[in-house]
Structures are given as structure tokens and as C-alpha cells.
């Protein structure tokens, strides 16, 4: 899929309006997104005499009713529903993690969510669910995150992938197609897809939309027809660069299968990570909006800079920028001082990286280039620093790179 270059000034104006008004183009919720972010998963705390979320670090739980335990385990094995009553064992579920799952499902507008130890563990679980049903074929649109691309292409879990442009999705579907996977805005080019049109093209095949870059603050793919919403929760949901996790928001039917895979494979999320993620959700809307305001301004300045060839910035806004330089991108990486040269994204501090060398290195060079991931492309995850300080650092680094 070709890289898409958007009108940066229009995107800046749209993001400026979003930041000033606090409004986002989402369907009505029972409560405002900012309110849900603060309160979802915590509604029972006051009744327990608590204000902060407790962290349950137990790996196992006492039970003097072994017959009852056997019945609950049998029920879980049969349908994957969360066991009623007190917890059983850490691999079956954890109360702190369950709070995060409840909150994320509410923010994404889905029935359920299932958390995992990483985003790749979450994607692997989705593929294993479909593979177990004999639906090993995946239709996908590039670009995707490099490791997602590799997992599909290498067939490590027995999947077979057909790469298509969005217009070719319907024609690529087969009787054994179990999944259509897209990412919008895409990593790292920030290309956007019409998710509603993509979901229509999928027919009865579930659409998995990676919503890591946008977060539910900017879009909720379930409202546009996606059945599965994937997050590398390591990024914006955690938001502070100190937790690794993944999560799939989905309907309860699919969630039950995911829980069974998680139990069998052991890709569980640690309770402390669940606590940090729930805490991260409480500031997600304000962090995304503030970082997006910074990003829109930096994108505007980069687009006007003669040292920059092209700027990629999504129409929905957001805190991610991709830009191609005339000089050596490695010199830019080496010259920043305030901005941190590091893989990952979505933290409160600004990170920069060279996708062709790091996040997408594992994708074959020809496929990278065809997807718009050129050798001069840099990806900038904009944080919450003062925008003038960020620009001074970028300006200096671009000057050194020539």
C-alpha cells in the first residue's frame, strides 16, 4: 500500500479544535469518555471503603470446597466464561487485571476485553483461536507493526497470509479465511483506512483493527464494524514507558475463546501491570489530547522545513508523526538531546526511531519499501514536553544532518 501524505495544516487545524473543545467524533456513551477513563473498573471501591485500586498479587487462592472448584474449572474448560465466585488460580484470571479489562472494554465500546503479557501475545492468541477452528488464512493490509507483519509472514503459528490493498480485501477472502487484519493509523507511515468500508468488505469474517496509535480517544473501531480491537497496551494505555502488555477488546463470545488460549499458553498479564494500566487509563484522554496538540504543531513546522522532504500526519490527529528527511536520518537520531532515540511509543516523553533499522527491520526490505517505509523515514512519538523545547531539539538535529 502506498504511503499517504496528508495536508498537515488541515490536520493541525482539526486537532487544534479537538484540543480546545475536548470533543471527539465518537458515538454517544452512557458517560463521557473522560469520565469513563477515570471511573470504569473502580465503581465498587467506595463500597469497600477504598479509594485506590488494590493490587492482588496472589498466584493461588484458598478453597475448602474442592467439588465446587472442580465444577467451576469444568465450566471454564467448556465455554471460557469467567468463573463465578472467588478467584481460583492466577492463570485463570486476576481481580486487578479484570478491572483493567472492564475499563478498556467500556472505553472501546465492546462487551469484553482480554489482557495479555504483550501486544504480540494478544495477537498470537487471536490467531490461535482462529487456527483451532481450521481458519488459518489471514487477509492483511500493509503496513502493520513490523513484528505483526513477521508473525503473519513467517507462519510461526501455522497461519497463511495474503497481503492486499484495501480494495482487494473482498476478492482475497477464502472459505478458510479466519481474520482480516488492518492498522489505522498504520505503523509507521500513519496511513489511514476507512474502517467502515473495510468491515463491509470483510463480510462475515472478523475484522481485527490495531488501534494502538489512535486509542479510543480518537476512534473506536467497534463502532465502524471491527469485531476485534487490538492494543499494544505498552504504548498509550500505560503511557509512561514502564509496563508491557497487550489487550483485545471484543464481544464476549470471542473473549471466552481468548481466555481459554491464555489459560493454556500462560500469556497472562501480571497484576502490577494491570494496576499500572488502569491508572494509565485515568489520564489517557488528557495525555492523548495534549500530546496531539504538540504533534500537530511539530508536523506543521516540519512540513514547512526545507530539510524535510515529506511529512505524514493522520487526518484524525494523534501524537505520532512520520517524516522523511533529505539528509541522513541516522545523523538526526544521533543528534537529538532532549528527545530520546528509542523504539516504542506512546510515553509521556518524546521518542524518535528509524523504522527501517528497528521496528520494521524484520520485514523484508522490498516489502517495507512497497508499504511506504523508506530508508529516510523517521517516526516521532510526541510527548508532553513544551513544544518549543521539542522544536529546538529537532531543529538542531536536522541542522547537523544537513
In the chain, helix, strand, coil percent, each to 5?
A: 45, 15, 45
Is residue 210 annotated as a catalytic residue, yes or no? yes
- Catalytic status, residue 91: yes
Mean pLDDT (whole number) for 213-238:
98
d(CA 125, CA 121): 6
| Cis amide prior to 242 (ω within 30 degrees) | no
Grid cell listed for 378: 523517521
pLDDT of 7 above 70: no
Please report the pLDDT score of residue 29 as a whole number: 64
Pick the catalytic residue from 6, 12, 145, 275: 145
Task: Say what angle helices 95-108 and 271-282 make with each other, to 10 degrees.
Answer: 30
Indicate the range of 19-33, 72-86, 125-139, 370-384 predicted with least confidence.
Answer: 19-33
List the catalytic residue out of 42, 99, 130, 235: 235
The residue annotated as part of the active site, out of 42, 106, 136, 210, is 210
45 CB-contact burial (10 Å; exposed 0-12 / middle 13-18 / buried 19+): middle
Please say whether the beta carbons of 244 and 265 come within 8 A. no
C-alpha cell at 127: 490467531
Q: What is the pLDDT of residue 369?
A: 80
Is the pLDDT confidence value at 16 over 70? Answer: no
Residue 235 designated active-site: yes
Q: How far is CA 181 from CA 211, 236, 265, in A?
A: 11, 20, 22
Lowest mean pLDDT among 65-79, 176-190, 233-247: 65-79
pLDDT of residue 110: 98
- Predicted pLDDT of residue 315: 96
> Taking 80 as the threshold, does the pLDDT of residue 359 lie above it?
no
Averaged pLDDT for residues 322-347: 96
pLDDT, one tens digit per residue, over 281-300 is 999 999 999 999 999 999 99
Rounded to an integer, what distance in angstroms lies between the CA atom of residue 277 and that of residue 217? 15
- pLDDT at residue number 401: 74
Per the CB < 8 A criterion, the answer to whether 278 and 99 are in contact is: yes
For residue 388, what pLDDT is reported?
98
Copy the grid coordinates of residue 157: 503459528
Residues 162 and 132: their CA atoms lie apart, in Å, by 19
Among 126-135, 254-263, 309-318, 355-364, whose mean pLDDT is lowest? Answer: 355-364
* Contact between residue 230 and residue 209 where contact means Cβ atoms under 8 Å apart: yes
pLDDT of residue 5: 53
Residues 119-158: tens digit of each pLDDT:
999 999 999 999 999 999 999 999 999 999 999 999 999 9
Considering the candidates 9, 56, 89, 91, report the single residue annotated as catalytic: 91
Which pLDDT score, from 0 to 100, does residue 402 have?
67
Q: What share of the chain has pLDDT > 90, as a percent?
A: 82
Segment 204-213 shows an average pLDDT of 98
Q: What is the DSSP string of 105-157?
A: HHHHT-SEEEEESSHHHHHHHHHHHHHHTT--EEEE-S---HHHHHHHHTTTT
Least confidently predicted of 83-87, 246-250, 318-322, 378-382: 83-87
- Is the pLDDT at 321 greater than 50? The verdict is yes
Amino acid at each position: 500500500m502506498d504511503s499517504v501524505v496528508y495536508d498537515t495544516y488541515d490536520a493541525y487545524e482539526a486537532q487544534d479544535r479537538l484540543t480546545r473543545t475536548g470533543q471527539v467524533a465518537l458515538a454517544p456513551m452512557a458517560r463521557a469518555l473522560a469520565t469513563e477513563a477515570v471511573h470504569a473498573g473502580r465503581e465498587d471501591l467506595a463500597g469497600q471503603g477504598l479509594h485506590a485500586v488494590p493490587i492482588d498479587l496472589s498466584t493461588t487462592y484458598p478453597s475448602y470446597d474442592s467439588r465446587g472448584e472442580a465444577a467451576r474449572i469444568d465450566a471454564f474448560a467448556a465455554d471460557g466464561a469467567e468463573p463465578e465466585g472467588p478467584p481460583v488460580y492466577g492463570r485463570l484470571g486476576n481481580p486487578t487485571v479484570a478491572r483493567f479489562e472492564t475499563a478498556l472494554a467500556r472505553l472501546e465500546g465492546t462487551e469484553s476485553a482480554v489482557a495479555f503479557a504483550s501486544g504480540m501475545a494478544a495477537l498470537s492468541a487471536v490467531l490461535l483461536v482462529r487456527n483451532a477452528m481450521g481458519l488459518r488464512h489471514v487477509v492483511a493490509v500493509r503496513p502493520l507493526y513490523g513484528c505483526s507483519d513477521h508473525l503473519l509472514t513467517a507462519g510461526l503459528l501455522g497461519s497463511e497470509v495474503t497481503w492486499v490493498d484495501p480494495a482487494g480485501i473482498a476478492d482475497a477472502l477464502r472459505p478458510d479465511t479466519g481474520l482480516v487484519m488492518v492498522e489505522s493509523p498504520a505503523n509507521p507511515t500513519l496511513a489511514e483506512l476507512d474502517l467502515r468500508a473495510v468491515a463491509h468488505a470483510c463480510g462475515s469474517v472478523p475484522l481485527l483493527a490495531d488501534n494502538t496509535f489512535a486509542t479510543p480517544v480518537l476512534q473506536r473501531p467497534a463502532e465502524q464494524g471491527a469485531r476485534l480491537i487490538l492494543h499494544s497496551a505498552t504504548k498509550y494505555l500505560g503511557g509512561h514507558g514502564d509496563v508491557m502488555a497487550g489487550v483485545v477488546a471484543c464481544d464476549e463470545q470471542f473473549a471466552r475463546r481468548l481466555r481459554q488460549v491464555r489459560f493454556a499458553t500462560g500469556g497472562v498479564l501480571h497484576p502490577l501491570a494491570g494496576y499500572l494500566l488502569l491508572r494509565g487509563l485515568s489520564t489517557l484522554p488528557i495525555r492523548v489530547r495534549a500530546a496531539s496538540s504538540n504533534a500537530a504543531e511539530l508536523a506543521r513546522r516540519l512540513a514547512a522545513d526545507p530539510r524535510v522532504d515529506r511529512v505524514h500526519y493522520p487526518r484524525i490527529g494523534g501524537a505520532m508523526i512520520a517524516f522523511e528527511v533529505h539528509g541522513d536520518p541516522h545523523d538526526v537520531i544521533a543528534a537529538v538531546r532532549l528527545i530520546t532515540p528509542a523504539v516504542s511509543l506512546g510515553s509521556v516523553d518524546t521518542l524518535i526511531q528509524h523504522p527501517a533499522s528497528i521496528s520494521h527491520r524484520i520485514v523484508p526490505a522490498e516489502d517495507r519499501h512497497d508499504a511506504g517505509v523508506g530508508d529516510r523515514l523517521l517516526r516521532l512519538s510526541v510527548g508532553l514536553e513544551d513544544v518549543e523545547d521539542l522544536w529546538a531539539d529537532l531543529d538542531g538535529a536536522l541542522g547537523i544532518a544537513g
